[in-house]
Structures are given as C-alpha cells and as structure tokens.
C-alpha cells in the first residue's frame, strides 16, 4: 500500500515567540531555515511541530509562546496529506478572564487534537537533546513521550488523560483541607492509565531497538511497575504531591558497547548514539507506518562533524526542515535576520 506523504506548504505566525506577523513557504524535500542566533529559526520549527502536537517540544508552557505584551498567538499551516490539501489553525488565548486553546481543521473546530494528527505529523528532533544522556530522567521521559505520542495516537490520548488527572490530583493535595475520598478516586482513575503507559513504553522501546545501531542499546526501567498509586495516599498527603507513577522515577538508560553511555561513552560517541536514535525512529516509521511524516531537525550542524552530517543527510527522505546557522547547498534555503 502506498504511504501517505505529509508536506507543509506554508506557515503563518501571529504573536508567536518573537514574531508579530510572519509567513514563509516550504518545498518538498530538504528545507533549511538559516540565520544568526536569536533570529527565530527554532521558533519556526516549534510552530510547525505545534500544528501536529499542540505542545512545545522545547518544554515551554503555552503562555510562554505568546509574544511579550500580547494576549494570544495563532499558527496557521497549509498542508498536503497524501493527495488532499488541508488548512490547520491553532490559537491560544491567555488573559485574566480565560485560557483557551482552539484548533481548526479546514475552518471547522476540532473536538480532539488527535483528529489533526491523523492529517499531519511533524516529528521534531533537537540535536541539543543528546545532553539528555547525561541529564535528568525527566529529560529522557519527555523526549520519548513526545516521539511516542506522534508514533502512537492511543499513547498520546492515554498520556494526555493521565497528565490531566495528575495535575488535578496534585492541585488537590496542596489544599489545606484535602478531600481524601476524591484524591483516592483520582488515584484509582489514574492506575489503569499508568499501567498502560508503562506497557506501551516497553513495547515501543522493544520495537525501536530493532533499528538501533548494534553498538548502542536503550533500556526502559519502570520503578512504578507492580505498584498501586492509591497505596501511597498517606505519603502523597504528607508531601503534597503524587509520589508514584510513570511520571516520577521511570527512566531510560543508554548503553555503548554494553556499558552505560553516561560513564563510558565520549562526547562524540554520545552524539553518534543520538544520531542512531534519530535514524532508528525514522526507520521504525518507514517500516511500520502508512504515512511519511515531516521531520524537523534543530541545529544538527552544531553537534555533528562534517562526516556525521553527511551521513545524516544521506539518510533523509520526504520533507525535512532543518534549522541552521548557514544555508545548505542543494536545499531550499530560507534566510532570517535578527529583525525576523
């Protein structure tokens, strides 16, 4: 069966990050957004990714994406999905009266963001993320959660519902007069979602590992597995937060030639490990999905030496958008200045 190829033809930004009013077009194949630091290259990648998964892949809250002094932002993208043309618009309003995120597909308000992901998927990778190998467990969980959410729409829904319940429960646990029964009820609602998150993470890491360079390995370790959230009610009340779950201590460990990469791999080998992860994700999608998504890469030139960069580019197909300090020969280059 022929794969559905996804392409973004243009994007329009209003009050997004440092852009008041900005529009640019893209071509199929390799696109390079280039310019000095601070010109907004990564912000454009962030906006493209937001059309697919409405959260910042840079970890920012929605209100932090609004241009300083404004109360809303809007992102509009013209999309090709297979042989069909679509228009996606996402706006976010934040003021004293309301906080509201609204998405439109072809002019009609969507009830679920998942509906958009069935039309357009853009997968972002920031080569600065290779620092997660030495970093905190939250960095590694966020990295894999963001990618898994795009690979598996059910995982996206489960994770989103779990996080909503988690936020609600944590807010209640901080109150002076805690509604114990309702806190227990929320724990029971979260439990099956938490167990499903662990199950899906294990499955997806197993699938990903099939395409990883043999010198590297990634292992998912769940300290939550076998535990019940409701059993920790006393500790949760005492500490004012949900203390167990796949959001707390679950982690991913990277190995280089059988040894923990954090301690035994050089900086160059860690970069190569990250590159292997990126290419493994791409291969996993190629082998298992009926679509060809847009790939977004932030600053590979600053991390990869010329040899690795050449190897990386040789593996790319479909539409690719790269943020870089300089243009790339043979690509469709989009130049930015510090004035945008």
CATH number of domain containing 217: 1.20.1050.90
38 annotated among ligand-binding-site residues: yes
29 annotated among ligand-binding-site residues: no
Does any domain span residue 126?
no
What the block records as the tokens of 27 is 């071509």
Are 219 and 278 within one domain? yes
37 annotated among ligand-binding-site residues: yes
Are 177 and 266 within one domain? yes
Reported as a single tens digit per residue, the pLDDT across 299-314 is 887 777 777 777 777 7
| DSSP β-ladder status, 294-298 and 122-126 | parallel
Q: So what's the pLDDT on residue 1? A: 60
Domain that holds residue 176: 131-290
| Domains: count for the chain | 2
Are 153 and 67 within one domain? no
Are 194 and 336 within one domain? no
Q: How many Å from the N-terminal Cα to the C-terminal Cα in the chain?
A: 42
Block mean pLDDT (10 aa), the chain, length 340: 87 96 95 93 96 88 93 96 95 89 94 86 86 93 90 91 96 93 97 98 96 95 95 96 95 96 92 89 85 89 75 82 89 84
Q: So what's the pLDDT on residue 339? A: 64
Are 72 and 22 within one domain? yes
- Other residues' Cβ atoms within 10 Å of the Cβ of residue 136: 10
Distance CA 322, CA 125 (A): 10
Q: So what's the pLDDT on residue 11? A: 98
The residue out of 272, 290, 308 marking a domain boundary is 290
Are 139 and 284 within one domain? yes
The residue out of 250, 265, 290 marking a domain boundary is 290
39 annotated among ligand-binding-site residues: yes
Q: So what's the pLDDT on residue 130? A: 85
Are 330 and 271 within one domain? no
Are 101 and 144 within one domain? no
Q: What are the phi and psi torsion angles at 116 (to 5°)?
A: -70, -40
Are 173 and 229 within one domain? yes
Are 143 and 83 within one domain? no
Does any domain span residue 191?
yes
CATH number assigned to the domain comprising residue 7: 3.40.50.300
Distance CA 81, CA 8 (A): 9
**141 within 8 A of 250, measured Cβ to Cβ:** yes
Are 330 and 269 within one domain? no
The strand order across the sheet containing 294-298 reads 122-126, 294-298, 320-324, 30-34, 332-335
41 annotated among ligand-binding-site residues: yes
Distance CA 139, CA 192 (A): 24
**327 within 8 A of 333, measured Cβ to Cβ:** yes
Does any domain span residue 81?
yes
Nearest to 24 by CA among 36, 15, 33, 16: 33
Q: So what's the pLDDT on residue 239? A: 96
Give whole-number Cα distances, 240 to 178, 199, 216, in Å: 10, 27, 39
253 annotated among ligand-binding-site residues: no
Does any domain span residue 41?
yes
Q: So what's the pLDDT on residue 216? A: 96
> For the residues of 145-191, what is the DSSP string, one character each?
HHHHHHH-HHHHHHHHHHHHHHHHHHHHHTSSS--HHHHHHHHHHHH
Does any domain span residue 216?
yes
Are 85 and 175 within one domain? no
40 annotated among ligand-binding-site residues: yes
83 annotated among ligand-binding-site residues: no
**285 within 8 A of 309, measured Cβ to Cβ:** no
The model's pTM is 0.84
What the block records as the tokens of 39 is 């010109």
Q: So what's the pLDDT on residue 316? A: 79
Does any domain span residue 109?
yes
């Amino acid at each position: 069966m022929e794969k559905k190829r996804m392409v973004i033809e243009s994007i329009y930004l209003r009050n997004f990050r440092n852009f008041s009013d900005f529009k640019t077009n893209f071509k199929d194949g390799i696109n390079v957004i280039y310019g000095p630091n601070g010109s907004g290259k990564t912000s454009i990648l962030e906006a493209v990714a937001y059309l697919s998964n409405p959260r910042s892949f840079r970890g920012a809250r929605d209100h932090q994406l609004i241009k300083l002094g404004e109360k809303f932002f809007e992102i509009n993208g013209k999309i090709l999905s297979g042989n069909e043309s679509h228009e996606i618009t996402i706006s976010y309003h934040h003021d004293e009266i309301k906080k509201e995120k609204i998405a439109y597909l072809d002019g009609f308000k969507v009830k679920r963001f998942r509906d958009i992901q069935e039309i357009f998927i853009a997968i972002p990778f920031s080569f600065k993320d290779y620092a997660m190998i030495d970093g905190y467990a939250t960095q590694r969980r966020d990295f894999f959660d963001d990618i898994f959410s795009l690979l598996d729409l059910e995982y996206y829904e489960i994770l989103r519902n779990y996080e909503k319940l988690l936020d609600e429960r944590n807010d209640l646990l901080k109150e002076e007069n805690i509604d114990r029964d309702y806190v227990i009820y929320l724990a029971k609602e979260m439990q099956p979602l938490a167990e499903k998150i662990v199950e899906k993470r294990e499955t997806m890491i197993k699938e990903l590992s099939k395409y990883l360079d043999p010198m590297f390995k990634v292992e998912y370790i769940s300290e939550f597995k076998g535990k019940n959230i409701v059993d920790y009610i006393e500790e949760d009340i005492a500490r004012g937060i949900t203390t167990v779950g796949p959001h707390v201590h679950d982690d991913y460990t990277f190995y280089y030639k059988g040894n923990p990469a954090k301690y035994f791999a050089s900086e160059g080998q860690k970069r190569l490990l990250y590159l292997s992860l990126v290419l493994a994700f791409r291969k996993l999608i190629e082998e298992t999905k009926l679509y060809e998504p847009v790939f977004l890469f932030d600053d590979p030139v600053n991390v990869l030496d010329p040899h690795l960069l050449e190897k990386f580019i040789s593996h790319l197909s479909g539409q690719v958008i790269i943020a870089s300090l300089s243009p790339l020969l043979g690509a469709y280059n989009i130049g930015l200045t510090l004035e945008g």
